[in-house]
């Protein structure tokens, strides 16, 4: 059975924007957000967008390296991250996601630079509310990395350039539909 996509609370949804901060500025993850945010915003086709938090901004989404906090999830293997959503189930502002932490593997091994970007783009998708995986594009289930060329199967379209399937963009549009 498939799990439904999960929208953010109304005020965030209506802003069509998530403010994100990186607390993962080390090793291969250094600067990854500056690279990924423009790519994500381009391929999300204005369904919503990410903005990198300035010094004064409160972030909705935080990027972290797993293992630094005692409650961090464990990540096995080096080719995926983990997204943990904080949800509001009632109250003012309605129901929905109120905050997200993205955890990245501390030591991704044997992973190309493009795979590093892919991991972050994929988790940005989950943080935006996408739940289920797809057969192709950034939200694919199992990405195969062949010397930096990433594809779902041998014959499917290789990334980069990164892409969301049309269906994924439509799901994003539905998740980020203006709320009354
Ligand atoms: Zn995933």
Domain boundaries, given as residue ranges, for the chain: 10-170
* Ligand 1 centroid distance, CA of 116 (Å): 14
Average pLDDT over residues 80-106: 90
Are 52 and 34 in contact by the 8 Å Cβ rule? The answer is yes
Average pLDDT over residues 9-13: 94
* Ligand 1 centroid distance, CA of 55 (Å): 29
Q: Is 175 helix (H, G, I), strand (E, B) or coil?
A: helix
Question: Do you find a cis peptide bond into 161, omega within 30 degrees of 0?
Answer: yes
Q: Which residues pair with 146 in a beta bridge?
A: 149
Residue 78: is its pLDDT beyond 80?
no
Q: Is 58 helix (H, G, I), strand (E, B) or coil?
A: coil
Q: Determine the topology of domain 10-170 in CATH.
A: Collagenase (Catalytic Domain) (3.40.390)
Average pLDDT over residues 115-143: 95
**The model scores a pTM over 0.85:** yes
* Ligand 1 centroid distance, CA of 57 (Å): 27
* Ligand 1 centroid distance, CA of 126 (Å): 7
**Euclidean distance between CA atoms 40 and 43, whole angstroms:** 5
* Ligand 1 centroid distance, CA of 133 (Å): 6
* Ligand 1 centroid distance, CA of 117 (Å): 14
**Euclidean distance between CA atoms 127 and 135, whole angstroms:** 19
Which helix (H) or strand (E) segment holds residue 88: the answer is strand 82-88
* Ligand 1 centroid distance, CA of 105 (Å): 13
The two structure tokens encoding residue 70: 């005692």
Are 61 and 21 in contact by the 8 Å Cβ rule? The answer is yes
Question: Where does the pLDDT of residue 84 fall: very low under 50, low under 70, confident under 90, or very high at 90 and above?
Answer: very high
In sequence order, what are the residues at sequence separation of 6 or more whose Cβ sits closer than 8 angstroms to the Cβ of residue 80? 105, 119, 122
Which helix (H) or strand (E) segment holds residue 27: the answer is none
What per-residue confidence (pLDDT) applies to 108? 85
**Euclidean distance between CA atoms 33 and 120, whole angstroms:** 8
Q: Is 3 helix (H, G, I), strand (E, B) or coil?
A: coil
Are 62 and 102 in contact by the 8 Å Cβ rule? The answer is yes
Judged on CB neighbours under 10 Å (0-12, 13-18, 19+), 156 is middle
Residue 117: is its pLDDT beyond 80?
yes
């Amino acid at each position: 059975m498939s799990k439904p996509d999960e929208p953010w609370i109304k005020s965030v949804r209506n802003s069509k924007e998530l403010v994100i901060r990186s607390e993962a500025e080390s090793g291969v993850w250094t600067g990854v957000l500056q690279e990924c945010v423009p790519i994500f915003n381009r391929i999300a086709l204005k369904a919503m967008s990410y903005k990198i938090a300035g010094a004064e901004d409160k972030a909705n989404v935080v990027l972290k390296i797993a293992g630094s906090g005692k409650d961090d999830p464990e990540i096995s293997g080096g080719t995926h991250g983990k997204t943990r959503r904080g949800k509001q189930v009632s109250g003012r502002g309605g129901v929905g996601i109120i905050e997200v932490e993205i955890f990245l593997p501390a030591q991704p091994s044997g992973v190309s630079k493009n795979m590093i970007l892919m991991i972050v783009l994929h988790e940005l998708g989950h943080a935006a509310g996408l739940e289920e995986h797809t057969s192709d594009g950034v939200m694919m289930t199992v990405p195969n990395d062949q010397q930096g060329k990433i594809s779902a199967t041998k014959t499917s379209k290789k990334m980069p350039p990164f892409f969301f399937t049309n269906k994924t963009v439509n799901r994003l549009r539905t998740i980020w539909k203006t709320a009354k």
